[in-house]
Protein backbone atom coordinates (compact mmCIF):
# COMPACT_ATOMS: atom_id res chain seq x y z
CA UNK A 1 0.00 0.00 0.00
CA UNK A 2 2.73 2.49 0.91
CA UNK A 3 5.76 0.28 1.60
CA UNK A 4 7.12 0.90 -1.89
CA UNK A 5 7.26 4.71 -1.60
CA UNK A 6 10.68 4.87 0.08
CA UNK A 7 12.06 8.38 0.56
CA UNK A 8 8.77 9.92 -0.53
CA UNK A 9 7.26 8.82 2.78
CA UNK A 10 9.83 10.81 4.79
CA UNK A 11 9.01 13.94 2.77
CA UNK A 12 5.40 13.68 3.89
CA UNK A 13 5.83 12.34 7.42
CA UNK A 14 9.07 13.98 8.50
CA UNK A 15 11.59 12.41 10.82
CA UNK A 16 10.22 10.55 13.81
CA UNK A 17 9.88 12.91 16.76
CA UNK A 18 9.96 16.07 14.63
CA UNK A 19 7.22 18.70 14.54
CA UNK A 20 6.43 17.53 11.00
CA UNK A 21 5.98 13.96 12.30
CA UNK A 22 3.64 15.19 15.04
CA UNK A 23 1.58 17.24 12.59
CA UNK A 24 1.36 14.25 10.25
CA UNK A 25 0.14 12.00 13.08
CA UNK A 26 -2.53 14.57 13.91
CA UNK A 27 -3.70 14.59 10.27
CA UNK A 28 -3.94 10.76 10.32
CA UNK A 29 -6.04 10.89 13.50
CA UNK A 30 -8.28 13.55 11.93
CA UNK A 31 -8.66 11.32 8.88
CA UNK A 32 -9.68 8.38 11.06
CA UNK A 33 -12.25 10.45 12.92
CA UNK A 34 -13.74 11.80 9.67
CA UNK A 35 -13.83 8.37 7.98
CA UNK A 36 -16.63 6.96 10.11
CA UNK A 37 -17.31 4.14 7.69
CA UNK A 38 -13.98 2.46 8.52
CA UNK A 39 -13.12 3.52 12.03
CA UNK A 40 -16.32 4.38 13.85
CA UNK A 41 -19.63 2.62 14.29
CA UNK A 42 -22.65 4.37 15.74
CA UNK A 43 -20.46 7.18 17.06
CA UNK A 44 -18.10 4.80 18.88
CA UNK A 45 -14.51 4.09 17.87
CA UNK A 46 -14.07 0.55 16.56
CA UNK A 47 -11.04 -1.03 18.21
CA UNK A 48 -11.05 -4.19 16.08
CA UNK A 49 -9.65 -6.10 19.08
CA UNK A 50 -11.80 -9.10 18.30
CA UNK A 51 -10.68 -9.43 14.68
CA UNK A 52 -7.63 -10.99 13.07
CA UNK A 53 -6.68 -7.57 11.67
CA UNK A 54 -6.05 -5.39 14.71
CA UNK A 55 -6.17 -1.67 15.15
CA UNK A 56 -2.55 -1.33 14.01
CA UNK A 57 -3.61 -2.36 10.49
CA UNK A 58 -6.43 0.18 10.59
CA UNK A 59 -4.02 2.97 11.56
CA UNK A 60 -1.55 1.78 8.91
CA UNK A 61 -4.26 2.00 6.24
CA UNK A 62 -5.20 5.51 7.35
CA UNK A 63 -1.53 6.53 7.36
CA UNK A 64 -0.99 5.16 3.84
CA UNK A 65 -4.13 6.89 2.59
CA UNK A 66 -2.88 10.17 4.06
CA UNK A 67 0.61 9.74 2.53
CA UNK A 68 -0.79 8.94 -0.90
CA UNK A 69 -3.17 11.90 -0.73
CA UNK A 70 -0.40 14.29 0.28
CA UNK A 71 1.91 12.99 -2.46
CA UNK A 72 -0.81 13.79 -5.01
CA UNK A 73 -1.70 17.15 -3.46
CA UNK A 74 1.13 18.36 -1.22
CA UNK A 75 0.24 20.56 1.71
CA UNK A 76 2.36 23.53 2.72
CA UNK A 77 4.53 22.42 5.62
CA UNK A 78 7.19 25.13 5.28
CA UNK A 79 6.33 26.57 8.71
CA UNK A 80 6.69 23.12 10.28
CA UNK A 81 9.99 22.54 8.50
CA UNK A 82 11.22 25.89 9.85
CA UNK A 83 10.27 24.84 13.41
CA UNK A 84 12.17 21.57 13.00
CA UNK A 85 15.21 23.45 11.71
CA UNK A 86 15.05 25.85 14.66
CA UNK A 87 14.74 22.87 17.03
CA UNK A 88 17.93 21.37 15.54
CA UNK A 89 19.75 24.71 15.90
CA UNK A 90 18.68 25.09 19.53
CA UNK A 91 19.61 21.49 20.34
CA UNK A 92 23.08 22.05 18.89
CA UNK A 93 23.42 25.30 20.83
CA UNK A 94 22.42 23.61 24.09
CA UNK A 95 24.92 20.81 23.45
CA UNK A 96 27.66 23.38 22.84
CA UNK A 97 26.84 25.23 26.07
CA UNK A 98 26.76 21.96 28.02
CA UNK A 99 30.20 21.07 26.67
CA UNK A 100 31.57 24.51 27.52
CA UNK A 101 30.10 24.26 31.02
CA UNK A 102 31.67 20.82 31.48
CA UNK A 103 35.02 22.22 30.28
CA UNK A 104 34.72 25.07 32.78
CA UNK A 105 33.94 22.63 35.58
CA UNK A 106 37.11 20.67 34.84
CA UNK A 107 39.17 23.87 35.06
CA UNK A 108 37.95 24.67 38.56
Instruction: For residue range 61-86, list pLDDT tens digits in order.
Output: 888 888 888 888 877 778 778 888 88
The per-residue pLDDT for 18 is 87
Model confidence, pTM: 0.61
31-55 tens-digit pLDDT: 887 776 566 666 666 655 555 555 6
Could you give the CA distance from residue 58 to residue 48 in angstroms, rounded to a whole number? 8
Return all residues near 9 (Cβ < 8 A) that are at least 6 apart: 2, 67
Asked if pLDDT for residue 99 goes beyond 70, the answer is yes
Average pLDDT, the chain: 79
DSSP H helical segments within 35-77, as ranges? 36-39, 55-72
Beta strand spans in 1-108 (E): 40-41, 44-45
Domain boundaries, the chain: 3-107
Amino acid sequence: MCDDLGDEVVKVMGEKGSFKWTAFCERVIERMVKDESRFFAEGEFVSYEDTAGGCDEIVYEAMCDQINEELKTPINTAWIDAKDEKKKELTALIARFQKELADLNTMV
